[in-house]
Every structure is written in C-alpha cells, then in structure tokens.
Structure 1
Amino acid sequence: MSSHNERTGLQPLTKSSFISKENGQLREPWKKYTEQKNSIEGFISSQLSSEALRRYKVRVDIMKKSSHYMDVMWKDLSFGDQNYMTTSTMFHLIDPWKFQRMKKIGTTQVKIKLYLLEEFYKVIKHGKEQLETILCTYDMATFSSEWESIRERLAHVTKALSDFNSVLIPGKLHTKHRLISNMGHTKIPHIRLSVNIKMPVVFDKKESHSFQQSAMLKWYIEGQSTLHPSEQFEVRYKLITPTTLEEGSQFGTITVSSFSIEIGNLLPEKSYEFTIKRAETYCLVYGFWNDTIILKTKPFPTDHVDYLKKASCCFV
C-alpha cells in the first residue's frame, strides 16, 4: 500500500523543503524559526544551565545560613568623612529603644529577602523546565503561532533573574526619626543604617575528631583566615539519647575566640551532637542557623577495660 505522501504527491516537511531551488537560501519561515529556537537555546545554556541553577541554589542556601547584621555608619559633620560606628561611645549616643525598633525592621527585611530569593529561584527553575519542553515538543508551526507567549515566558524568567540578583545586594534601612536624641548645641552626626551579611560558620568535618573522652572540633568561615578571629563563637554539645543521670548531665555551652576547641570529660563509646554559630552581638538582626556535627567517642582499649574490672574487684 502506498504511503500518504506517495498518494498525494506531497514531500515530507523537512529543512530542505524550505530551501529555495533558485538561490539555495533558507526561506524566511525556516530562518526565523531557527533563529528563535537558537536564541532560547543560547539563553538556557548561558543563564539556566545546570551549573547556573546550582550556583543560584548555593546563593540561596548561603543567605539562609549567614548572619545578618545592622551596620551603622555616621558622617562626621566637621570633616565630612564616613566611618563605621564601632566604638561604644557612639552607641551610647543612640536611643536604645529606637535602635531596637530598627533592628526589628531589619529582621523583617531579611525574612522578606529570604522568602523572595526562594520564590525567584522557583520561578527560574520552573521557567527553564518550560522552555526546555517548548524546544522538545514545538514544531515550526506551533513555534510561530505561540511565539508571543514564548516571549512572555522568556521575559518572565529574565525578570526573575534580575530580581534574584538585586535581592542579593545589601539594602539600606530608612529611618523616619533621628536615632540620636537632642544633644543641645552639639551638631548631631548623620547616621545611615544598612543590613549586611557575614558568611556562615561551618565545621571542618575532616579536621574534627573524637577520642575516648574528648573531642577536637575545628571550624572555618569561607574566605576568611583562621589565624586571628575578630569575633566570638558559641559551641554547644550534648549526649544523644542519655539513659542515666550521669549521661543526662553531658551537655554544655562554651564561648570561644578561636577556630578550634577540645571538649573533655566525655563518656567513651557515646554519640554527641555538636553545634557551632557566632556568638550573638548587639547588632545581630538575623542568624538562627548553626552547623551541626555528630561524633562518637572511641571505646577504651580492651586491656584498659580489663584493668578497670580487676581494680573494681579489689574494692568489693
């Protein structure tokens, strides 16, 4: 039985169908189709590749794990320079109640930013899936008839990418009222507030180890030297699933000014949970995340256990 094309005398619709026999050039419909398709493929490969999406996700995770602080800058009216207000003297000039109110505003701003980052990432990821479906399923006729809709989807994803990057930029906080109360005849310096971030504190999993009755913990901050820390860290530890009163007392919190600590007086052959985060400061507005590691202490050597048993028998 002859095929439909043989009976009707029609040729299959291929790229060659759109090539002019006179000059060998692609006819306009096919040329336009290939240009549009190539533009989408180029957009996906440059902005929405698997590696690009991975980077976007990493940025979202880092923002969620980072510590967000209120930065206070003041302008010296005498000299016109700007400085970070780091001295306690300058903080004494600021109204504590007004500053706490601005910290709450800063906390709200951070929460909104984190929510928007998550939403923009979802739009970007879903947009890639839609565009890939279009490339795989649309033929030339569908591509042409749906081009305006496709352009809208491209614009939607492009805007989400732009908004995603803009949210990553630290934002200023606008104050309606002066943070410094009336200082008489003294000129009040102009204060500017912004919320900036510090990279998360993370355990060094390779360098953290447990022994029979202690654990050596090390941590780091990406891109920062571990030699001379300029801040304090809070280490918490607890025995997982204690079963006795002695085991129930196996927990604690330690504040240190270094990137390592050895915690002693632990019980052998037990699993402990350790957490690390920055110690809270006056300017912290958001920083709930902490890194966690679980280590199991080593058992005593067999000969040591036998010695303890013999020693205990002597006192019976």
Structure 2
Amino acid sequence: MAGISDESHTSLEIAVPSKGHDDASQQMYMEKRNFVLQILQTTMSPHHIQHYRNKFEVFKKCYFYVDIEPRHVHARDQNHVMHCTDIMQLIDPYQLLKIKKKAKNQIEIEMLLIAELLEQLEQGREELRRYIMTCDMITFLAQWPLISKRLHQLSKFMATLVSLDMPGKLHIKHHLLLHADLRGTRLPRFRVSLRVKMPLIFDRKGSFACKNSAKLKWFDKNQEPHLKPYELHFKLLTSEIHREMGYSRIQEATSTSCVVQGLLPGRSYEFRIGRPDTQTFILVKWHDSITLTTTTEDAVGSACAAE
C-alpha cells in the first residue's frame, strides 16, 4: 500500500488575497481553499492517517478468540437442582465451530475493509493536496463541486475507519446454542463476543544464545489476571556445511521467558513464540520469530542458566 509523505508547513499555506480578481471570488476562493487546507492538516494529516495504519499493522498480528461471558453460570438440571457450571460444558461443540468459522470470516472481511479505507484515504489526501498546490483561483472554483464531493466521501471513509475497533472488542451477531438435552431446562444468560489479544514480541536485547542453550524473552502487553501458557517453537537451521537433518521442538512456558537446553554449539536456530490452541481460539496470521546462533566455546559467567 502507498506510504504517506509528510510535507513541510511551508508547502501548504493559508491563502491570502491577490490582485486581479474581484473581491467576492477572491473571498470565496480563500474560504474554500483554507477549508481544504485545514482538513489536510488535521483529520487528513499524514500523522493522523499513519496513526490508524500503525494500529492496523498491530491488528493484523493479533490473536482472536470467541469470548463467552460469564464463564461460570448457575443452571438448573432436569431435577431442578441448581449447579455452578463452566459455560463451556454446556456449549454444543458443533455450534461453537460454526460460530468460530463465521467469526473468522468477519475478521478477514474487516481486515480487507480497513486496508481499503486506508488506501482510499491516502489516495484522497494526495488528490486534495494536488488541488491546493496546482490549481489557480479560477480552476479551483471550477473544480469545487468535485472537490466537495471528494471531501464528503473521504469524511465517510474516515468515520467508518474510526468506528472500527482496532484491536478493540467486536461483537458476533449470532445466537450460540447449547446442548440439545438442555433445551428443556431454564437456560442461563450469557454473551458472545470477539476477544482480541495483542501479539507476542521477542525482546531482542534480552534474548541470546550460549554454547548449548539459549535464553528467550518476549513481551506480552495483555493484562492477564493469572499466568497464561506460551509455546516456544524452535528448529535447527541446516546449511551446506552441516548436512544432518534439521529438527524442531516445542517448549511450553508459563512466564515471558524461558531457557532452551540441549542445543548444538556453533549452530543457528530459529525461535517462534505463540499461544497454545484453545477451545475458543479462532485465528492468528502472524508469529514473531528470531534467529540465534550458539557459540563454539563456553562463555565465562554464562547467563544461560536453567530457570
């Protein structure tokens, strides 16, 4: 997609009266030109559009889950006895699978929509900038109906973009059915929505390799009330010199760092951090990865100690 170029303050200047035109036309030109200029420097500024592009780049890397609240409900069984039950025990797996499929489609459509909106806003901004920079008063006023129409269109695009939560909470508009054998009882109330979790990013300064091990650290911006599991995938990278078969492993962790043991000296490994699959997981399109090379000699005071 097209990038956004930032102009200096001197490239787009407030219009001032000039000689040779009647006062009414000149005043109209100044008002309309300055109106467009104000938009280019505020809601359509490179900084403002880039802000939403940056949010979109994060959004594309997020993890998406079906969120069912509350997680524990009080439900009466067929004998009218009240029980506190995990809501997932009452969910029909087939219906949950259908909702996850619809949610995935919703996410992918939204990603396409956001990408198109950003593209249209960047193109529209460049069109408006050209009107400001190249048109004289007569041409600008003659083109004003087209400029005004384009402004209205871009305003709607921006309003749509702002209305989309990136990466906020999105609601799934379906009814989640429970097990068939529960339909004759009093059903608990619950809400179904889409939960977004921020991507996991390696701490590249805090991750390093020793002779036979490596220490990996990563950042998790999600505020979790309790420890969450992570999966560290890693594989040996093969080369022309080392012709043995490459291998890969998965190591689980419950904190944002871990030590991997049993590595070969003087070899390169690719590490990838992720979250384990769960019953409510929908989609993730990106995982952060880092390549580290083990040393050939033992380092003095090595920090690659088992945690």
> How high is the TM-score relative to the length of structure 2?
0.80
CA contact (8 A) 1:99 1:179 kept: no
1:109 corresponds, among 101, 106, 109, to 106
Is residue 94 of structure 2 the alignment partner of residue 92 of structure 1? no
Alignment of 1:202-213 (within 5 A): 202-213=201-212
1:40 and 2:36 correspond: yes
Which residue in 2 is equivalent to 1:71? 67
Aligned partners of 2:162 and 2:228: how far apart in 1?
29
CA distance in structure 1 between the partners assigned to 2:192 and 2:97 by the alignment? 13
Q: Distance in 2 between matches of 1:135 and 1:246?
A: 62
Deviations 1:12-54 (A, max 9, x none): xx9342688xxxxxx2211111111111111111122232232
Partners in 1 of 2:204 and 2:90 — Cα distance? Answer: 44
CA gap of 1:282–1:28, structure 2 versus 1, over 3 A, is same
Matched, 1:189 2:192: no
Deviation at 1:274, TM superposition (A): 0.7
**Other-structure match for 1:281:** 278
Instruction: Look up the match of 2:163.
Output: 166
Q: Please say which structure displays the higher CA radius of gyration.
A: 1
Asked if 2 retains the 8 angstrom alpha-carbon contact of 1:210 and 1:298, the reply is yes
Equivalent residues, number: 273
**SS, match of residue 61 in structure 1:** helix
Matches for 1:85-164 after TM superposition, within 5 Å: 89-164=86-161
2:177 matched to which residue of 1?
Answer: 178
Aligned counterparts of 1:209 and 1:229: Cα–Cα separation in 2? 27
Question: CA shift at 1:207, angstroms?
Answer: 0.8
Assess if the C-alpha contact under 8 Å between 2:73 and 2:86 holds in 1. no
Once the two structures are aligned, what percentage of the paired residues are identical?
27
CA 171–275 in structure 1, closer or farther in 2 if over 3 Å, else same: same
Residue 64 of structure 1 aligns to which amino acid in structure 2?
Answer: K
Which 5+ residue runs of structure 1 have no aligned equivalent?
A: 1-13, 21-26, 79-86, 303-316
C-alpha separation in 2, matches of 1:177 and 1:260: 37
Q: Which moved more, 1:242-251 or 1:134-143?
A: 242-251
8 Å CA contact 2:73, 2:87 repeated in 1: no
Mapped contact 1:250–1:266 kept (Cα < 8 A):
no
| Dislocated runs of 4+, deviation >4 Å | 74-78, 242-247
Deviates more, 1:51-60 or 1:146-155: 51-60
CA-CA distance at 1:180 after TM superposition? 4.3
**Native 8 Å contact 2:237 2:246 kept in 1:** no
Using structure 1 for the length normalisation, give the TM-score: 0.78
Corresponding residue SS for 2:108: helix
Residue 199 of structure 1: aligned partner = 198
Q: How far 1:255 sits from its partner (Å)? A: 1.7
Change (3 A) 1:101 1:172: same
Question: In the alignment, is the contact (CA less than 8 A) between 2:199 and 2:220 conserved in 1?
Answer: yes
**Letter paired with 2:46:** S
Cα distance 1:159–1:254, how it changes in 2: closer, same or farther (>3 A)? same
